[in-house]
Structure 1
Amino acid sequence: MSERDTEVGGVPVAALKRHAELSEQVEDARWRYYVLDQPTVSDAQFDEWFRELLALEEAHPPLQTPDSPTQKVGAPISGDFAKVSHLNRMESLDNAFNEADMAAWMARVERLAERDPGPYLCELKIDGLAIALVYRDGKLERGATRGDGRVGDDVTANVRTIKGVPHRLKGEGVPSLVEVRGEVYIPVEGFQRLNEQLVEQGRPPFANPRNSAAGTLRQKDARVTAQRPLRMLVHGIGLWEGSAVPRAQSEVYERLREFGLPVSDLFQVVPGLTGVDEFIEHYRVHRHDPAYEIDGVVVKVDDFRTQRELGSTSRAPRWAIAYKYPPEEVNTKLLDIQVGVGRTGRVTPYAVMEPIVVAGSTVERATLHNAATVIKKGVLVGDTVVLRKAGDVIPEIVGAVTALRDGSEREFVMPTHCPECGTELAYEKEGDADLRCPNARSCPAQIRERLYFAAGRRALDIDGLGYVAATALTQPVPPQEPVLRTEADLFDLTIEQLMPIRSVVRDQDTGLPKLDPETGEQKVVSLFANLDGGPSQAARTLVEELDRAKAAPLAQVLVALSIRHVGPPTARDLAEAMRSIDAIMDASEEELASVKGIGARVAATIREWFEVDWHREIVERWRAAGVRMDDGPAPEKTEPQILEGLTFVVTGTLEAYTRDTASEALTSRGGKVAGSVSKKTSFLVAGENAGSKYDKAVGLGVPILDEQGFAVLLDEGPEAAARVAVTEEP
């Protein structure tokens, strides 16, 4: 092939082929998203395709033709409703994905405008369905979807059922003709309830709230629409006739609110780029505070005169842009649904998926809670599913992309027997949602989970006893027998017992066992022995850590025993009041319930736990091994109560304190320690890797103390600490 044959019209053949492929994918995705209400790709995937199209057209201008997807708004309209023309064209928005994109857009606006284009209006980008309402002489005349921007579907009958949308405008100065634009959505809670109802009726659930809003608005029977929790927020106008037109977007919002239209309070007018960035960052932290889903922030030039001067491209206004947050929802394949057994015997289904990056981390597992949840979500093994991971929240499957089913999918069947010990599963009491393995004493999975929990930072904080070690101790590589058949044996472990223990080597990404390429057998490794056969440092460390843990305070021992409902706060209250394990074992329910923070329900659980013979055996074996079982007489309060009335949150890793000892230092001085940051938080004590609690504190303006500031707080009090605290602007 000659060099000339590699180009057509000056465009490389490879670029032509890729452009055609992407155009077909984008058009198909738009049809399924806007018309069928059955999206088959995630927003992130669509944005990636669209950005690649734009880049191709920028590099090769002949590709940018009028029928290119980049020059169109929305998608072809459906054939199920009457068609209506919009009074003015409804446009789409260009996107920004980072601070550089925002700065470039604002620089372009400043260059094109004849005057200072500020201020700017910032508002939330609702993940809903665009709609245009026409009011003539104050009366609702028509509601239409965006369609292709010029022609949309007439959904007036359904719009009239939306709560909060007035059939007649009120107040003074109502225009004789006005077209308002907005977004129709379903609140997150309403979406969850709707999907549960659909599955109960044997119908496929919606993939996401936007999909559910679109499907609901396009119901042919308005009575169905009326039964669903649709809402609307107005965010602009297309036409205004018959009265004085406001001079700015923000003034329009005030007028529309006076007319009785639903307008969000969550917008802000700012002078320039700094204010825009602050608004974007605030809602990056508080993304899930609104009752509805958002996927970014829309930034608009507030002044209408400047908007008119800036004009529009073929598809989008130059005076507005959408800043899109990183995706928290992606599509992936559900390979299997398996079950795990927890330390209380609860049997939990979990999804095994093709690994995928979402919200900045690779995810391949997601909990499905119980069999009823699997049914509610309507997912089948083999489905393409919508996966959501918001910040530090555990990954969650939202639902199935039912449009991609090919008939090979299968239903999940909850096992009837424990997958680890074979015991028949049962509900603990009538009405429970969770099946449990009743073999609490001997089930190797429950023993493993209790051991791992006992060694955790919330309990005895035993370095060297992580999940791999806990598994190897209770479920070793055959033919080796378990070293621990009950947690009662924990403090009797010796280096000689640890030396033979081996563990299966697993892939870090998939969690599956690695295989030896020559033999095809699972790779195994010695956990506690060196190559020369002697004990490894890991073995010595674990034995030393177990010896150190014997001196742990009573509260930590109580947590390590895995008594239902007895977490660190309850254990501290119990230990402070009772002072010894014997006093707790001998106490009546009434005496336990009288302890601050305990109550009747937890008291009954504690009493029941100590009435079980093998539970008491654990206590006595640990006591015989030297574990401290009392805190001695109650000490007199020697610390000045300088933190009384203040609330603290501790997060991250501190060098001189564990999270528990830091909490004890605060409570001993009269402070209260909470688990989450709120407006009532007096200080956040933040070590390394503070995570989302730090971000939330910044968003709420809560003073933040590093380890040095924490020392100032304990020694000199809150006023001195306030002088060295960091208070960042959100």
Structure 2
Amino acid sequence: MKKGVGLRAAQRQILRDNDVLAALDERDVTDIAEGGRDVSALTDKELLEFIMAANLLYRAGEPLIDDGRYDFTYVAELRKRHPEHPFLHRVEPEPLALAKSVELPTRMLSTEKAYDFETITRWATRIEKAAAELGFAFDRLRFRATPKLDGFAAYDDGEKLYTRGDGRRGTDITRAFERGLKVAGTGERGQGAGEIVVSRSYFASHLAALFDNSRNFQASLIKEKELEEPAAQAIDCGAAVFYPFAQLPQWVGGWQELSRDFNDIVDKLWTQLDYDVDGIVFEMTEDAIKEYMGATRHHHRWQIAYKRNTETREVRVIEVVAQTSRSGRVNPVAEIEPTRLSGALIKRATAHHYAMVLAKGIGAGAMIRLSRSGEVIPKIEEVVEPKEVVLPQSCPSCGSDLVWEGDYLTCLNILDCPAQITNSIEHFFKTLGNIDGFGPSSVSRIYQGGTRRIRDIYSLEEQDLVALGFGPKQAQNMVEQLQRSLVEPIEDWRFLAAFGVHRMGMGNCEKLLSVFPLTRVFALTAEEIVEVKGFSDKSADEIIKGFSAVRSEFEALYALGFNLIVTSRQKEGGDRSGAILEGKTVVFTGTMSRGSRSDMQAQAKVLGAKVGSSVTTKTDLLVCGEKVGAAKLQKARTLGVKIVSEQEYLGMVAGAES
């Protein structure tokens, strides 16, 4: 957005329609976007709210800031403060307000990001390790590199075109093809994931005077309203297309060649297409290794995107202020002399903890060197001239005395500290992921009205919410959403992770529940936790302490009857050896008639199966719904994989579950 212009009418309307602003107002959003407020000066709530607003506007075709600043400044700051924040470990959602959301034919994940060659090297090392475990020679493996298009992500199954949505559910935008949108490359439909893009040169010569940016134009191609003439002309002449990832220009070679010619490969691919590119995607080509490495809930482990950005500056610290996080840790934030770094006006920088502040002398008047890179923005690289440090004595949120816990000054007032309570409530609902309407503004209003526990929120009725200042319709929707969160299936590890116990992010929760049932975890000893791979003595002690703090709230909420999907685990004594799917690798393909593919995958995991995304030599069973691709069937037959219909599969598991 242009300096000093403020939000456009369309941007204001999108933010209001989606009710994302609470801690911030529209003037705050403008000020942050224009660099008037340093990112490190934002509270956690303000930072997340700005990120959500920027993401919403970007994906709705009304960008607030460019993709580089979004990644390198705001998301990176969130990653620095809270590496396990749920927002960082789920697919950044497209707005679903375009139409009713529908299940995607396959999950569309985000891509892990790298900002230097060292990160790419670490990624390759993980692939080398996986290759060794599978018996592949690393020096014979092939890597692929393709441009990362900066367009509107979509998925084409041959009959419908979907927005990416939240990675699981999107919206049907087939109307784009009905309006004449062409497919780049071969021109064939059904090539899966891709991006709706517009030629960079065509945009500059024909559309720049009409649209603020290409994202704004790309979104106009799929809106429900009648297509405007500039968009129709761009489609007619082929300047606007759906570009399947399968058709992208590519480089393929071994790791030795990739590491030697990395910069040349990146430079060539970055400029090869007449479309906006915001990175280069590197991936492993061997299906067996891809299957073995799998994916997180956010990205495929066998794939990574390289982006560029870095800059440094020396600046003077004015003072160091304290901010209380959800965990009770009080984080030091250095207010600095305003300075421009990579195009943004920086006024604050976050230090890791007060032990670092003491050790390095980050006090008022200190001279520090800041850097801007993808991982930490801005990061205190070095203290050039240290000064005396003054430590806070009380919590800035509730005034309670602070105590040292390791490197951190901590507020122990868990029950009454406003910052800890509201941040914990927000974390619970965000982590559940099956409830809307309980963002920062709603939670703040509920807290100010005297409701301080999540269990009590579930007891609120419409008239209670109206009394707190919510409109009647909004109150009705919120009560319905609370009921939805009870009824809609969610994984038990997600439910446990929602309580925000330190060291118990979603990955560790799933790991623990693969060994112990949910009803047992609060009675576990440190010795039992340490026996689970990945948990140390120190983390076990912290986990037990954290479980003790949330046990009462957990038991009250668990008693409400959430519809929990039980994590597959090995029972003591190994009495599951006779289960029909035990240890089998199952792949689901096609459109299922008796439920969503994700539900069937979850059921298979409960029965002891490993669920794959593609047919490989490790696949034992291919379950076919309707509209299955011929290539996948042929590959299964060639590899000798057992192929069954959805009905046959359901008959098999009916016996296994009884």
Q: TM-score range by the shorter chain?
A: 0.3 to 0.5
**TM-score normalized with structure 2 length:** 0.40
